[in-house]
Amino acid sequence: MLAIKMIIEFFKTGLFAIGGGLATIPFLKEMALNYGWFTLDDLQMMINVAESTPGPIGINMATYVGFNNMGVIGGLITTLSLVCPSIIVIILVAKALDRFKDSKVVTAVFKTLRAAVLGLVLYAVYDIFKKTLFSSVTIINVKEFIIYALVLGISIKFKKISPIAIIAGCAVIGIIFAL
């Protein structure tokens, strides 16, 4: 029964989280709250890991949750459940788009989808920002805020710095703070 529920939930996430990894975060947060397969702290940690490793957040989280709850088979099942809707939709859209690419209705639908994706991504960014920098409504995590401000300032001032160098530098800082 657990496997079927996970298949359904990750399939729904894959089907409705149009726009990639960040768009899956509201769905994953809802799963954490409704089913207890993982905690919100697990989700935050996975977002941190996923943003610094190859692969979208949703796929990394699906694999983690499936593996944690049902082993290797669970990891495969949940990952395929998340990816399957995208494959189906891409095939259907590719076939239909050629015939209807000049349609005003199709154009309007895609404009609406872009707005919805932007809303989901902005919500995810806001939620991550709030959770990372604020431990409660009124208390700011000074260490994290200073690191955020420094990285933002460096990124703006020195635009040619590789994102890989920034990620590596932040990983080193994280290791130093963890010791």
Contact between 127 and 29 (Cβ < 8 Å): yes
3-class DSSP assignment, residue 134:
strand
| pLDDT interval class at 54 (50, 70, 90) | low
Domain residue ranges of the chain, discontinuous segments joined by +: 2-117, 134-179
Contact between 79 and 66 (Cβ < 8 Å): yes
What pLDDT digit, counting tens, does each position of 16-39 carry? Answer: 776 666 778 888 888 999 998 988
What pLDDT digit, counting tens, does each position of 71-124 carry? Answer: 999 999 999 998 888 888 888 878 877 777 778 887 888 788 788 778 877 887
3-class DSSP assignment, residue 140:
strand
Written as one letter, the residue type at 5 is: K
Instruction: Choose among 1, 24, 22: nearest CA to 13.
Output: 24
Strand partners, 134: 140
Q: What is the pLDDT of residue 3?
A: 87
Return the higher-pLDDT residue of 69 and 52: 69
